[in-house]
């Protein structure tokens, strides 16, 4: 870990402004991903701004429907929130499927969105990785890639986004609120927050330097049967091989998003129109651009099978 200076900010605007003033600045909140990467010198900030005192830790209903989630709300608290449990069950389920009890107590909403890939080539500074060291090549392509992305990939990167929470937020059409170093605030639809790797896999999101996420808002509840199914080798405390978030209405229409298959939460609205026709049709559309490796080709079939199971579960719940 490289040496850094440390300060605690007290307001979001102050934090964003301070971040813009010093090069190599990072915000730290939960620290569960950043500190891990700093120890390996994959992240090398020279200045850390501790934002835990910003008071962004509330979950408030929005007048007229919807929920505003402070950026610093811990994953445990978000999952346990009564509004979320009742109206956005897919979000609770996704959060609870992620990490461990300890890490969910530490990790924050904004940090979870901005966590970096768990690709083992990204994590090993001896290996090539275009995300860590642009131009060095992609170690996973031609290497070990069982966990890697199958859609939205490029020749430069086949890493996945590891978040479960983000997949649920994507299906819920969440919006990200930020404050920029110049003090201006803006809102970003979650679909626009994360980028596909393309030729610049090191640029993972659309925030400007120093821009700070202050909240995530959820629109009015959409009802339906909400399911988050995470498929993994061990029963808990593992990243998804694939995950399926689904909201299914009584008439068989609904939404679906995938985790573990792409550089961002993967949702194809056109595919959702096929929902009444079943998993095969939806998967075909969702993964129409799939480009797999020898190691991860199974994910295509796994998505279809998992989705079929999820649709079946929803059907059974509707019957009850």
Partner 1 sequence: MKFDTPATSNPIDQLKVVGQPVSRIDGPLKTTGTAPYAYDRYDVVPNQAYGYVLGSAIAKGRIVSMNLAAAKASPGVITIVTAENAGKLAKGNLNTALLLGGPEIQHYHQAVAVVVAETFEQARAAAHLIHVNYARAKGLFDLTSEKPKGTPKDVFGAAGETSVGNFDKAFSAAPVRLDKTYSTAHESHSMLEPHATVAAWDGDQLTLWTSNQMIDWGVSDMALTLSIPKEKIRLISSYIGGGFGAKLFLRTDALMAALAARAARRPVKVALQRALVPNNTVHRSATIQRIKIGAARDGQITAIGHESWSGNLPGGGAEAGAVQTRALYAGANRMTSNRVATLDLPEANAMRAPNEAPGLAALEIAIDEMAEKLGMDPIEFRIKNDTQVVPDSPPKPASNDPQSEKPQDQEKHNPHPPFSIRQLTQCFQVGAERFGWNKRNTKPGLVRDGRWLVGMGVASAFRDNIVAKSAARVKLDKRGHVTVETDMTDIGTGSYTIIAQTAAEMMGVPLEKVTVRLGDSSFPVSAGSGGQWGGNSSTSGVYAACVKLREAVAQEAKTQLAKTQQADFNINDAIFADGQIRSGSHSISLGELAGSKGLVAEDTIEFGDLDKRYHQSTFGAHFVEVGVDAATGETRVRRMLAVCAAGRILNPKTARSQVIGAMTMGVGAALMESLEVDKRFGYFVNHDLAGYEVPVHADIPHQEVIFLDETDPISSPMKAKGVGELGICGAAAAVANAIYNATGVRVRDYPITLDKLIAKMPTRV
Partner 2 sequence: MAEFNPSRRKFIQSTAVTSGAVIVGRLVPEADAKSVLQPSQLTKEPANVNVLLRVNGSEHQLMVDPRTTLLDALRERLHLTGTKKGCDQGQCGACTVIVDGRRIASCLTLAVMQEGHDIITIEGLGTPTNLHPMQAAFIKHDGYQCGFCTPGQICSAVAMLDEVKTGIPSHVTADLIQPPEMTTIEFRERMSGNICRCGAYSNIQEAIAEVAGGRT
CB 260 within 8 A of CB 234: no
Q: In what order do the strands lie in the sheet with 25-28?
A: 5-8, 47-50, 25-28
227 is an interface residue for partner 1 by CB under 8 A: no
- Closest to partner 1 by CB, 40 vs 207, is 40
CA distances to 161, 212, 230 from 239, rounded to whole Å, are 10, 26, 9
CB of 93 to partner 2, least distance (A): 8
121 is an interface residue for partner 1 by CB under 8 A: yes
Q: Look up residue 310 and give its two tokens.
A: 């999820």
CA-based radius of gyration for the chain: 19
138 is an interface residue for partner 1 by CB under 8 A: no
Binding mask 275-304 for partner 1 (x = CB under 8 A): -----------------------x--xx--
CB 100 within 8 A of CB 92: no
CB of 209 to partner 2, least distance (A): 21
CB of 254 to partner 2, least distance (A): 19
Selection from partner 2, partner 1, none that 92 binds (CB < 5 to 8 A by kind) is partner 2
Residue numbers of the site for partner 2 (CB under 8 A)?
1, 3-6, 28, 30-32, 35-36, 39, 48, 50, 52, 76, 79-80, 85-86, 89, 92-93, 96-97, 99-103, 105-106, 235-237
- Closest to partner 1 by CB, 16 vs 231, is 231
DSSP 80-117: H-HHHHHH-HHHHHHHHHSS-HHHHHH-BHHHHHHPPP
302/265 Cα distance (integer angstroms) = 17
CB of 1 to partner 1, least distance (A): 6
127 is an interface residue for partner 1 by CB under 8 A: yes
Nearest to 228 by CA among 244, 252, 250, 249: 244
Selection from partner 1, partner 2, none that 124 binds (CB < 5 to 8 A by kind) is partner 1
Q: Residues touching partner 1: how many (CB under 8 A)?
A: 37
Beta bridge partners of 248: 225, 254
Which of 120, 137, 252, 278 binds partner 1 (CB under 8 A)? It is 120
Report which DSSP code applies to 275.
G
Selection from partner 2, partner 1, none that 14 binds (CB < 5 to 8 A by kind) is none
Subset of residues 151 to 210 that bind partner 1, contact rule: CB under 8 A = none
CB 153 within 8 A of CB 161: no
68/89 Cα distance (integer angstroms) = 16
Selection from partner 1, partner 2, none that 106 binds (CB < 5 to 8 A by kind) is partner 2
């Amino acid at each position: 870990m490289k040496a850094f200076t440390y300060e605690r900010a007290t307001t979001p605007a102050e934090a964003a402004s301070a971040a813009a003033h010093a090069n190599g600045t990072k915000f730290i909140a939960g620290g569960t991903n950043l500190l891990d990467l700093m120890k390996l010198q994959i992240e090398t900030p020279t200045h850390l701004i501790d934002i835990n005192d910003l008071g962004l830790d509330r979950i408030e209903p929005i007048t007229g429907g919807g929920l505003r989630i402070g950026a610093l709300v811990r994953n445990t608290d978000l999952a346990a929130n009564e509004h979320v449990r009742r109206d956005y069950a897919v979000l609770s389920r996704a959060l609870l499927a992620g990490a461990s009890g300890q890490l969910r107590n530490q990790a924050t909403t904004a940090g979870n969105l901005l966590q970096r890939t768990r690709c083992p080539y990204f994590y090993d500074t001896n290996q090539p990785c275009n995300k860590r060291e642009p131009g060095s090549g992609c170690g996973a392509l031609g290497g070990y890639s069982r966990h890697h992305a199958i859609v939205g990939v490029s020749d430069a990167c086949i890493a996945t986004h590891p978040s479960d929470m983000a997949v649920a937020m994507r299906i819920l059409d969440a919006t990200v609120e930020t404050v920029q170093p110049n003090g201006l605030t803006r809102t970003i639809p979650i679909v626009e927050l994360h980028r596909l790797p393309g030729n610049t896999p090191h640029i993972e999101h659309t925030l400007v330097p120093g821009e700070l996420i202050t909240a995530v808002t959820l629109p009015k509840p959409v009802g339906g049967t909400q399911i988050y199914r995470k498929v993994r080798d061990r029963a808990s405390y593992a990243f998804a091989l694939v995950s399926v978030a689904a909201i299914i209405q009584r008439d068989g229409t609904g939404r679906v998003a995938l985790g573990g298959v792409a550089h961002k939460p993967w949702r194809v609205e056109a595919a959702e129109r096929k929902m009444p026709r079943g998993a095969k049709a939806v998967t075909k559309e969702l993964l129409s651009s799939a480009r797999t490796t020898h190691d991860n080709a199974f994910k295509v079939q796994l998505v279809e099978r998992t989705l079929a199971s999820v649709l079946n579960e929803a059907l059974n719940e509707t019957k009850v």
